[in-house]
Amino acid sequence: MAGKPLSKTVLAALAAPCLPLAALGLPLVVYLPEYFSGEIGLSLTAVGTAFMAVRLLDMAFDPFIGGVMDRTRTRWGRFRLWFAIGTPILMFATWMLFMARPGVGVGYLWVGLLIIYAGFSIATLSQMAWASVLTPDYDQRSRVYGWWQTANVIGMILVLALPPLLFQVYGATHAEGVRAMGLFIIVLLPITLLLSLFLVPEPRIASAPDKAGIREYLALFKRATVRRILIVDILNGTGPSITGALFFFYFHAIKDFDRGPAGLLLLIYFIGGLVGAPAWMWISYRLGKHRTLAYSGLFYAAIQVAVVLMPAGHFPLAAACMLLAGLSYSASAFLLRAMMADVGDEARLDTGIDRTGLLYALLTGTVKIGSALAVFVSFRGLDIAGFQTQANAVNDPAALLALQLMFTAAPGALALAGAWVIWGYPLTAEKHAEVRARLAEKDLAEAAPELGSEPRLAEEVHPLARPAE
Protein backbone atom coordinates (compact mmCIF):
# COMPACT_ATOMS: atom_id res chain seq x y z
CA MET A 1 0.00 0.00 0.00
CA ALA A 2 1.30 3.44 -0.89
CA GLY A 3 2.23 5.77 1.91
CA LYS A 4 0.64 9.14 2.47
CA PRO A 5 2.14 11.60 -0.06
CA LEU A 6 4.42 14.23 1.41
CA SER A 7 3.28 17.80 0.87
CA LYS A 8 4.89 19.90 -1.82
CA THR A 9 5.92 22.41 0.84
CA VAL A 10 7.95 19.78 2.67
CA LEU A 11 9.46 18.47 -0.56
CA ALA A 12 10.38 21.97 -1.75
CA ALA A 13 11.92 22.90 1.61
CA LEU A 14 13.91 19.66 1.71
CA ALA A 15 15.15 20.23 -1.84
CA ALA A 16 15.92 23.96 -1.42
CA PRO A 17 19.50 23.48 -0.08
CA CYS A 18 20.27 21.54 -3.27
CA LEU A 19 20.35 24.92 -5.05
CA PRO A 20 23.60 26.10 -3.39
CA LEU A 21 24.97 22.56 -2.95
CA ALA A 22 24.63 21.79 -6.65
CA ALA A 23 25.85 25.27 -7.49
CA LEU A 24 28.97 24.30 -5.54
CA GLY A 25 29.32 20.72 -6.76
CA LEU A 26 29.27 21.60 -10.46
CA PRO A 27 32.06 24.23 -10.41
CA LEU A 28 34.17 21.88 -8.28
CA VAL A 29 34.28 19.54 -11.27
CA VAL A 30 33.82 21.85 -14.26
CA TYR A 31 35.12 25.32 -13.37
CA LEU A 32 37.60 25.14 -10.49
CA PRO A 33 40.07 22.63 -12.03
CA GLU A 34 40.20 24.72 -15.20
CA TYR A 35 40.26 27.96 -13.13
CA PHE A 36 43.27 26.89 -11.06
CA SER A 37 45.15 25.69 -14.13
CA GLY A 38 44.22 28.49 -16.55
CA GLU A 39 43.70 31.56 -14.34
CA ILE A 40 45.82 30.78 -11.28
CA GLY A 41 48.60 29.20 -13.35
CA LEU A 42 49.07 25.78 -11.73
CA SER A 43 50.00 22.83 -13.96
CA LEU A 44 47.37 20.38 -15.23
CA THR A 45 49.04 17.49 -13.42
CA ALA A 46 49.28 19.42 -10.13
CA VAL A 47 45.59 20.38 -10.28
CA GLY A 48 44.44 16.92 -11.35
CA THR A 49 46.52 15.26 -8.63
CA ALA A 50 45.19 17.61 -5.93
CA PHE A 51 41.56 17.02 -6.88
CA MET A 52 41.97 13.25 -7.05
CA ALA A 53 44.10 12.84 -3.91
CA VAL A 54 41.94 15.05 -1.70
CA ARG A 55 38.80 13.31 -2.92
CA LEU A 56 40.29 9.91 -2.08
CA LEU A 57 41.56 11.13 1.31
CA ASP A 58 38.11 12.52 2.00
CA MET A 59 36.62 9.07 1.46
CA ALA A 60 37.99 7.98 4.84
CA PHE A 61 35.90 10.75 6.38
CA ASP A 62 32.61 9.38 5.00
CA PRO A 63 32.31 6.19 7.11
CA PHE A 64 33.41 8.13 10.18
CA ILE A 65 30.83 10.90 9.84
CA GLY A 66 28.14 8.47 8.63
CA GLY A 67 28.68 6.36 11.75
CA VAL A 68 28.57 9.45 13.96
CA MET A 69 25.24 10.43 12.38
CA ASP A 70 23.80 6.96 12.99
CA ARG A 71 24.80 7.22 16.66
CA THR A 72 23.48 10.76 17.08
CA ARG A 73 20.33 11.17 19.16
CA THR A 74 19.07 14.72 19.78
CA ARG A 75 15.73 16.47 20.11
CA TRP A 76 16.34 17.88 16.60
CA GLY A 77 16.98 14.46 15.07
CA ARG A 78 20.10 12.86 13.66
CA PHE A 79 20.52 14.41 10.24
CA ARG A 80 19.04 17.89 10.67
CA LEU A 81 21.67 18.72 13.29
CA TRP A 82 24.57 17.63 11.10
CA PHE A 83 23.20 19.50 8.10
CA ALA A 84 23.30 22.68 10.17
CA ILE A 85 26.91 21.94 11.21
CA GLY A 86 28.10 21.46 7.63
CA THR A 87 26.78 24.77 6.30
CA PRO A 88 29.26 27.26 7.87
CA ILE A 89 32.17 24.98 6.96
CA LEU A 90 31.07 25.10 3.32
CA MET A 91 30.65 28.86 3.39
CA PHE A 92 34.22 29.40 4.64
CA ALA A 93 35.81 26.98 2.16
CA THR A 94 33.80 28.37 -0.76
CA TRP A 95 35.17 31.83 -0.03
CA MET A 96 38.68 30.41 0.17
CA LEU A 97 38.63 28.63 -3.20
CA PHE A 98 36.35 30.76 -5.35
CA MET A 99 38.00 34.01 -4.30
CA ALA A 100 41.55 32.69 -4.86
CA ARG A 101 43.84 35.03 -6.81
CA PRO A 102 46.94 34.36 -8.94
CA GLY A 103 49.96 33.77 -6.74
CA VAL A 104 48.49 31.09 -4.48
CA GLY A 105 50.28 27.76 -4.62
CA VAL A 106 49.42 24.09 -4.72
CA GLY A 107 49.36 23.94 -0.90
CA TYR A 108 46.59 26.56 -0.80
CA LEU A 109 44.55 24.44 -3.23
CA TRP A 110 45.06 21.31 -1.13
CA VAL A 111 43.95 23.01 2.12
CA GLY A 112 40.92 24.57 0.46
CA LEU A 113 39.87 21.27 -1.09
CA LEU A 114 40.27 19.38 2.20
CA ILE A 115 37.97 21.83 4.00
CA ILE A 116 35.38 22.13 1.25
CA TYR A 117 35.09 18.39 0.71
CA ALA A 118 34.72 17.76 4.45
CA GLY A 119 31.90 20.29 4.65
CA PHE A 120 30.38 18.98 1.44
CA SER A 121 30.42 15.44 2.84
CA ILE A 122 28.65 16.48 6.03
CA ALA A 123 26.01 18.52 4.22
CA THR A 124 25.23 16.16 1.33
CA LEU A 125 25.35 12.99 3.43
CA SER A 126 23.05 14.38 6.11
CA GLN A 127 20.61 15.77 3.54
CA MET A 128 20.40 12.51 1.55
CA ALA A 129 19.94 10.44 4.70
CA TRP A 130 17.34 12.88 6.02
CA ALA A 131 15.39 12.52 2.77
CA SER A 132 15.49 8.72 3.01
CA VAL A 133 13.67 8.56 6.36
CA LEU A 134 10.77 10.85 5.38
CA THR A 135 8.73 8.02 3.83
CA PRO A 136 8.91 4.20 3.76
CA ASP A 137 7.08 3.91 0.42
CA TYR A 138 8.86 2.61 -2.72
CA ASP A 139 7.37 5.11 -5.19
CA GLN A 140 7.24 8.00 -2.71
CA ARG A 141 10.99 7.71 -2.34
CA SER A 142 11.34 8.20 -6.08
CA ARG A 143 9.22 11.33 -5.66
CA VAL A 144 11.35 12.65 -2.78
CA TYR A 145 14.60 12.18 -4.66
CA GLY A 146 13.00 13.38 -7.88
CA TRP A 147 12.37 16.74 -6.19
CA TRP A 148 15.89 16.55 -4.75
CA GLN A 149 17.40 16.04 -8.21
CA THR A 150 15.22 18.70 -9.83
CA ALA A 151 16.50 21.25 -7.31
CA ASN A 152 20.05 20.07 -7.99
CA VAL A 153 19.63 20.73 -11.70
CA ILE A 154 18.05 24.14 -11.06
CA GLY A 155 21.03 25.04 -8.86
CA MET A 156 23.41 24.04 -11.65
CA ILE A 157 21.45 26.06 -14.20
CA LEU A 158 21.46 29.15 -11.99
CA VAL A 159 25.20 29.00 -11.32
CA LEU A 160 25.98 28.28 -14.97
CA ALA A 161 23.93 31.29 -16.04
CA LEU A 162 25.97 33.66 -13.86
CA PRO A 163 29.20 34.00 -15.90
CA PRO A 164 27.56 34.58 -19.32
CA LEU A 165 24.99 36.92 -17.75
CA LEU A 166 27.68 38.97 -16.03
CA PHE A 167 29.72 39.02 -19.22
CA GLN A 168 26.78 40.28 -21.29
CA VAL A 169 25.62 42.89 -18.77
CA TYR A 170 28.85 44.07 -17.14
CA GLY A 171 31.59 42.70 -19.39
CA ALA A 172 32.87 40.57 -16.50
CA THR A 173 35.93 38.40 -17.03
CA HIS A 174 36.01 34.63 -16.57
CA ALA A 175 37.72 35.02 -13.19
CA GLU A 176 35.04 37.47 -12.04
CA GLY A 177 32.39 34.99 -13.13
CA VAL A 178 33.95 32.27 -10.97
CA ARG A 179 34.02 34.62 -7.97
CA ALA A 180 30.36 35.49 -8.59
CA MET A 181 29.55 31.77 -8.40
CA GLY A 182 31.19 31.61 -4.99
CA LEU A 183 29.26 34.62 -3.71
CA PHE A 184 25.99 33.11 -4.98
CA ILE A 185 26.68 29.91 -3.01
CA ILE A 186 27.70 31.72 0.18
CA VAL A 187 24.53 33.87 0.23
CA LEU A 188 22.12 31.04 -0.60
CA LEU A 189 23.43 28.38 1.81
CA PRO A 190 22.14 29.88 5.12
CA ILE A 191 18.79 30.92 3.61
CA THR A 192 17.93 27.44 2.33
CA LEU A 193 19.27 25.83 5.50
CA LEU A 194 16.76 27.75 7.61
CA LEU A 195 13.91 26.81 5.27
CA SER A 196 14.65 23.12 5.60
CA LEU A 197 15.22 23.21 9.36
CA PHE A 198 11.88 24.92 10.04
CA LEU A 199 9.66 23.16 7.48
CA VAL A 200 10.98 19.60 7.13
CA PRO A 201 10.44 17.14 9.98
CA GLU A 202 12.70 14.24 10.80
CA PRO A 203 11.05 11.10 12.18
CA ARG A 204 12.66 10.14 15.45
CA ILE A 205 14.31 6.75 15.80
CA ALA A 206 13.36 4.92 18.95
CA SER A 207 16.20 2.38 18.99
CA ALA A 208 19.33 2.95 21.02
CA PRO A 209 22.46 3.90 19.09
CA ASP A 210 24.55 0.94 17.97
CA LYS A 211 28.22 0.74 17.09
CA ALA A 212 28.78 2.20 13.62
CA GLY A 213 32.45 2.21 12.73
CA ILE A 214 34.66 1.10 9.91
CA ARG A 215 33.90 -2.60 10.49
CA GLU A 216 30.16 -2.00 10.17
CA TYR A 217 30.81 0.21 7.14
CA LEU A 218 32.79 -2.51 5.38
CA ALA A 219 30.24 -5.18 6.33
CA LEU A 220 27.65 -3.41 4.16
CA PHE A 221 29.68 -4.38 1.08
CA LYS A 222 28.60 -8.00 1.67
CA ARG A 223 25.10 -7.11 0.47
CA ALA A 224 24.52 -7.83 -3.21
CA THR A 225 22.13 -4.89 -3.49
CA VAL A 226 24.70 -2.51 -2.02
CA ARG A 227 27.46 -3.72 -4.32
CA ARG A 228 25.33 -3.27 -7.44
CA ILE A 229 24.24 0.22 -6.47
CA LEU A 230 27.81 1.30 -5.74
CA ILE A 231 29.24 -0.16 -8.94
CA VAL A 232 26.55 1.53 -11.03
CA ASP A 233 27.00 4.81 -9.16
CA ILE A 234 30.72 4.80 -10.02
CA LEU A 235 30.09 3.86 -13.65
CA ASN A 236 27.24 6.32 -14.21
CA GLY A 237 28.86 9.11 -12.20
CA THR A 238 32.33 8.94 -13.73
CA GLY A 239 31.12 9.43 -17.32
CA PRO A 240 29.36 12.79 -16.80
CA SER A 241 32.23 13.90 -14.55
CA ILE A 242 34.67 13.28 -17.40
CA THR A 243 32.54 15.24 -19.85
CA GLY A 244 32.17 18.01 -17.28
CA ALA A 245 35.90 18.28 -16.66
CA LEU A 246 36.67 18.32 -20.39
CA PHE A 247 33.62 20.23 -21.59
CA PHE A 248 35.21 23.57 -22.43
CA PHE A 249 38.34 21.96 -23.86
CA TYR A 250 36.26 19.68 -26.13
CA PHE A 251 33.84 22.25 -27.49
CA HIS A 252 36.62 24.74 -28.14
CA ALA A 253 39.23 22.42 -29.68
CA ILE A 254 36.99 19.86 -31.40
CA LYS A 255 33.71 21.65 -32.13
CA ASP A 256 35.09 25.18 -32.61
CA PHE A 257 32.96 26.99 -30.01
CA ASP A 258 34.29 29.86 -27.91
CA ARG A 259 33.77 29.91 -24.16
CA GLY A 260 30.51 31.92 -24.36
CA PRO A 261 28.62 29.55 -26.71
CA ALA A 262 30.15 26.54 -24.95
CA GLY A 263 28.86 27.82 -21.60
CA LEU A 264 25.41 28.21 -23.14
CA LEU A 265 25.55 24.62 -24.40
CA LEU A 266 26.38 23.43 -20.88
CA LEU A 267 23.39 25.39 -19.62
CA ILE A 268 21.17 23.70 -22.23
CA TYR A 269 22.49 20.32 -21.09
CA PHE A 270 21.24 20.95 -17.56
CA ILE A 271 17.93 22.29 -18.84
CA GLY A 272 17.59 18.85 -20.40
CA GLY A 273 18.28 17.38 -16.96
CA LEU A 274 15.53 19.55 -15.49
CA VAL A 275 13.06 18.21 -18.05
CA GLY A 276 14.31 14.66 -17.60
CA ALA A 277 13.90 14.39 -13.81
CA PRO A 278 10.06 14.27 -13.71
CA ALA A 279 10.01 12.14 -16.87
CA TRP A 280 12.26 9.44 -15.40
CA MET A 281 10.32 9.64 -12.14
CA TRP A 282 7.08 8.91 -14.03
CA ILE A 283 8.71 6.04 -15.91
CA SER A 284 10.02 4.53 -12.66
CA TYR A 285 6.48 4.30 -11.30
CA ARG A 286 5.65 1.98 -14.19
CA LEU A 287 8.85 0.05 -14.86
CA GLY A 288 10.54 0.09 -11.47
CA LYS A 289 13.65 2.00 -10.50
CA HIS A 290 16.31 -0.40 -11.74
CA ARG A 291 14.82 -0.97 -15.20
CA THR A 292 14.32 2.77 -15.64
CA LEU A 293 17.94 3.30 -14.67
CA ALA A 294 19.12 0.75 -17.24
CA TYR A 295 17.12 2.37 -20.05
CA SER A 296 18.48 5.81 -19.15
CA GLY A 297 22.02 4.44 -19.50
CA LEU A 298 21.30 3.04 -22.95
CA PHE A 299 19.83 6.39 -23.98
CA TYR A 300 22.89 8.27 -22.72
CA ALA A 301 25.28 6.00 -24.63
CA ALA A 302 23.32 6.55 -27.86
CA ILE A 303 23.52 10.32 -27.45
CA GLN A 304 27.30 10.14 -27.01
CA VAL A 305 27.49 8.76 -30.56
CA ALA A 306 25.42 11.70 -31.79
CA VAL A 307 27.84 14.13 -30.13
CA VAL A 308 30.73 12.59 -32.09
CA LEU A 309 28.84 12.97 -35.39
CA MET A 310 27.76 16.53 -34.65
CA PRO A 311 29.39 18.98 -37.12
CA ALA A 312 31.76 21.59 -35.72
CA GLY A 313 30.47 25.12 -35.26
CA HIS A 314 26.79 24.22 -35.80
CA PHE A 315 25.13 25.66 -32.68
CA PRO A 316 21.51 24.50 -33.29
CA LEU A 317 22.57 20.85 -33.71
CA ALA A 318 24.92 21.13 -30.74
CA ALA A 319 22.11 22.57 -28.62
CA ALA A 320 19.78 19.71 -29.63
CA CYS A 321 22.42 17.11 -28.75
CA MET A 322 23.10 18.72 -25.39
CA LEU A 323 19.40 18.90 -24.58
CA LEU A 324 18.98 15.19 -25.35
CA ALA A 325 22.14 14.27 -23.45
CA GLY A 326 20.84 16.18 -20.45
CA LEU A 327 17.61 14.19 -20.37
CA SER A 328 19.41 11.13 -19.05
CA TYR A 329 21.57 13.08 -16.61
CA SER A 330 18.99 13.21 -13.82
CA ALA A 331 17.98 9.55 -13.79
CA SER A 332 21.00 7.94 -12.15
CA ALA A 333 21.44 10.42 -9.30
CA PHE A 334 17.93 10.29 -7.85
CA LEU A 335 17.04 6.66 -8.66
CA LEU A 336 20.16 5.23 -7.01
CA ARG A 337 19.54 7.27 -3.87
CA ALA A 338 15.92 6.14 -3.72
CA MET A 339 17.12 2.56 -4.19
CA MET A 340 19.59 2.93 -1.33
CA ALA A 341 16.73 3.96 0.96
CA ASP A 342 15.05 0.64 0.08
CA VAL A 343 18.29 -1.18 0.91
CA GLY A 344 18.20 0.51 4.31
CA ASP A 345 14.89 -1.24 4.98
CA GLU A 346 16.33 -4.58 3.85
CA ALA A 347 19.38 -4.14 6.09
CA ARG A 348 17.27 -3.17 9.12
CA LEU A 349 15.05 -6.22 8.62
CA ASP A 350 18.08 -8.53 8.54
CA THR A 351 20.09 -6.96 11.37
CA GLY A 352 17.62 -4.96 13.44
CA ILE A 353 19.94 -1.94 13.17
CA ASP A 354 19.40 1.31 11.30
CA ARG A 355 22.41 1.95 9.06
CA THR A 356 21.07 4.93 7.08
CA GLY A 357 24.08 7.15 7.70
CA LEU A 358 26.61 4.49 6.74
CA LEU A 359 24.67 3.47 3.63
CA TYR A 360 24.63 7.02 2.31
CA ALA A 361 28.28 7.40 3.29
CA LEU A 362 28.92 4.60 0.80
CA LEU A 363 27.15 6.62 -1.89
CA THR A 364 29.02 9.83 -1.17
CA GLY A 365 32.20 7.76 -1.37
CA THR A 366 31.43 6.46 -4.85
CA VAL A 367 30.58 9.98 -6.01
CA LYS A 368 34.03 11.05 -4.84
CA ILE A 369 35.74 8.15 -6.57
CA GLY A 370 33.98 8.96 -9.82
CA SER A 371 34.72 12.67 -9.79
CA ALA A 372 38.31 12.18 -8.59
CA LEU A 373 39.04 9.63 -11.30
CA ALA A 374 37.39 11.85 -13.89
CA VAL A 375 39.55 14.89 -13.19
CA PHE A 376 42.79 12.99 -12.63
CA VAL A 377 42.56 10.52 -15.53
CA SER A 378 41.25 13.05 -18.04
CA PHE A 379 43.69 15.84 -17.11
CA ARG A 380 46.61 13.42 -16.83
CA GLY A 381 45.65 11.83 -20.15
CA LEU A 382 45.59 15.21 -21.87
CA ASP A 383 48.95 16.07 -20.35
CA ILE A 384 50.49 12.82 -21.64
CA ALA A 385 48.94 13.37 -25.08
CA GLY A 386 50.51 16.83 -25.17
CA PHE A 387 47.24 18.75 -25.23
CA GLN A 388 47.71 22.51 -24.80
CA THR A 389 45.07 24.37 -22.77
CA GLN A 390 45.98 27.92 -23.76
CA ALA A 391 43.32 29.74 -25.76
CA ASN A 392 45.47 30.24 -28.89
CA ALA A 393 47.35 26.92 -28.73
CA VAL A 394 47.48 24.64 -31.77
CA ASN A 395 47.14 20.96 -30.85
CA ASP A 396 48.34 18.07 -32.99
CA PRO A 397 45.91 15.35 -34.23
CA ALA A 398 46.99 12.82 -31.58
CA ALA A 399 46.15 15.24 -28.75
CA LEU A 400 42.78 16.05 -30.32
CA LEU A 401 41.99 12.35 -30.79
CA ALA A 402 42.78 11.69 -27.12
CA LEU A 403 40.44 14.50 -26.11
CA GLN A 404 37.64 13.20 -28.33
CA LEU A 405 37.94 9.61 -27.10
CA MET A 406 37.92 10.66 -23.44
CA PHE A 407 34.96 13.01 -23.90
CA THR A 408 32.68 10.70 -25.92
CA ALA A 409 33.75 7.04 -26.05
CA ALA A 410 34.69 6.60 -22.38
CA PRO A 411 31.43 7.97 -20.88
CA GLY A 412 29.32 6.01 -23.40
CA ALA A 413 31.09 2.74 -22.56
CA LEU A 414 30.68 3.37 -18.82
CA ALA A 415 26.94 4.00 -19.26
CA LEU A 416 26.50 0.73 -21.15
CA ALA A 417 28.35 -1.14 -18.41
CA GLY A 418 26.11 0.47 -15.78
CA ALA A 419 22.96 -0.59 -17.63
CA TRP A 420 24.21 -4.17 -17.80
CA VAL A 421 25.09 -4.33 -14.09
CA ILE A 422 21.77 -2.93 -12.84
CA TRP A 423 19.48 -4.96 -15.13
CA GLY A 424 19.19 -7.96 -12.77
CA TYR A 425 18.90 -5.91 -9.55
CA PRO A 426 17.00 -8.08 -7.01
CA LEU A 427 15.25 -5.56 -4.72
CA THR A 428 12.23 -4.85 -6.92
CA ALA A 429 9.05 -3.02 -5.91
CA GLU A 430 7.38 -6.35 -5.08
CA LYS A 431 10.32 -7.54 -3.01
CA HIS A 432 10.48 -4.22 -1.17
CA ALA A 433 6.76 -4.46 -0.33
CA GLU A 434 7.46 -7.80 1.33
CA VAL A 435 10.34 -6.27 3.28
CA ARG A 436 8.15 -3.40 4.50
CA ALA A 437 5.38 -5.78 5.55
CA ARG A 438 7.81 -7.88 7.59
CA LEU A 439 9.32 -4.74 9.13
CA ALA A 440 5.87 -3.55 10.15
CA GLU A 441 5.23 -6.89 11.89
CA LYS A 442 8.61 -6.77 13.59
CA ASP A 443 8.19 -3.16 14.73
CA LEU A 444 4.74 -3.93 16.13
CA ALA A 445 6.04 -6.93 18.01
CA GLU A 446 8.89 -4.90 19.52
CA ALA A 447 6.68 -1.93 20.37
CA ALA A 448 3.93 -4.03 21.97
CA PRO A 449 5.24 -7.51 22.78
CA GLU A 450 2.08 -8.36 24.68
CA LEU A 451 0.18 -8.17 21.37
CA GLY A 452 2.62 -10.28 19.36
CA SER A 453 3.10 -9.91 15.64
CA GLU A 454 -0.17 -11.55 14.60
CA PRO A 455 -3.19 -9.35 13.77
CA ARG A 456 -5.73 -9.14 16.62
CA LEU A 457 -9.42 -8.38 16.67
CA ALA A 458 -10.49 -5.07 18.18
CA GLU A 459 -12.04 -6.73 21.22
CA GLU A 460 -8.76 -8.53 21.87
CA VAL A 461 -6.66 -5.39 21.66
CA HIS A 462 -8.82 -2.80 23.43
CA PRO A 463 -8.83 -4.41 26.88
CA LEU A 464 -5.05 -4.24 26.88
CA ALA A 465 -5.17 -0.54 26.05
CA ARG A 466 -7.65 0.34 28.81
CA PRO A 467 -6.36 1.57 32.18
CA ALA A 468 -6.71 -0.83 35.07
CA GLU A 469 -9.90 -0.40 37.06
Average pLDDT score over residue span 281-298: 93
**CA separation for the pair 173, 344 (Å, rounded):** 47
Average pLDDT score over residue span 337-352: 88
Let me know how long the chain is. 469
Asked whether residue 125 carries a pLDDT value surpassing 60, the answer given is yes
Q: Regarding predicted confidence, which is higher, 366 or 231?
A: 231
Beta-carbon contacts of 259 under 8 Å, excluding residues fewer than 6 positions away, are 174, 248, 252
74-83, 229-238, 393-402, range with the lowest pLDDT: 393-402
Give the residue ranges of DSSP H helices in 254-328.
259-287, 289-309, 315-327
Residue 384 has a pLDDT of: 83
Please give the angle made by the CA atoms of 170, 171 and 172, to the nearest 5 degrees.
Answer: 90
* pLDDT band (50, 70, 90) for residue 208: low
Q: Which residue in 332, 354, 330 sits closest to 341, CA to CA?
A: 354
Percent of the chain with pLDDT over 70: 90
- Judge whether 2 lies within some domain: no
- Judge whether 443 lies within some domain: yes
Q: Which of 195-199, 215-219, 245-249 holds the top average pLDDT?
A: 195-199
Any idea what the CATH number is for the domain that residue 350 is in? 1.20.1250.20
CA contacts within 13 A on the Cβ side of 210: 16
Mean pLDDT of the chain, nearest integer:
82
**CA separation for the pair 226, 216 (Å, rounded):** 13
- Judge whether 3 lies within some domain: no
- Judge whether 207 lies within some domain: no
- Judge whether 461 lies within some domain: no
Residue 209 has a pLDDT of: 56
Segments forming the whole domain that contains residue 343: 8-201+214-453
* pLDDT band (50, 70, 90) for residue 452: very low
CB count, 10 Å around CB of 338? Answer: 25
- Judge whether 372 lies within some domain: yes
Burial track 255-284 (b if 16+ CB lie within 10 A, e otherwise): bebebebbbbbbbbbbbbbbbbbebbbebb
Summarize pLDDT for 14-45 with one digit per residue, the tens: 999 999 998 898 788 777 887 888 778 788 78
- Judge whether 464 lies within some domain: no
**CA separation for the pair 276, 146 (Å, rounded):** 10
CA 204 and chain centroid, separation: 25
Residue 3 has a pLDDT of: 54
Task: Please count the structural domains in the chain.
Answer: 1
- Judge whether 418 lies within some domain: yes
Residue 207 has a pLDDT of: 58
Q: Regarding predicted confidence, which is higher, 222 or 467?
A: 222
Are 92 and 49 within 8 A, CB to CB? no
Rounding to the nearest 10 degrees, give the CA dihedral for residues 94, 99, 103, 109: 10
97-111, 187-201, 256-270, range with the lowest pLDDT: 256-270
Burial track 35-63 (b if 16+ CB lie within 10 A, e otherwise): bbbbbbebebebbbbbbbebbebbbebbb
Residue 448 has a pLDDT of: 53
**CA separation for the pair 166, 172 (Å, rounded):** 5
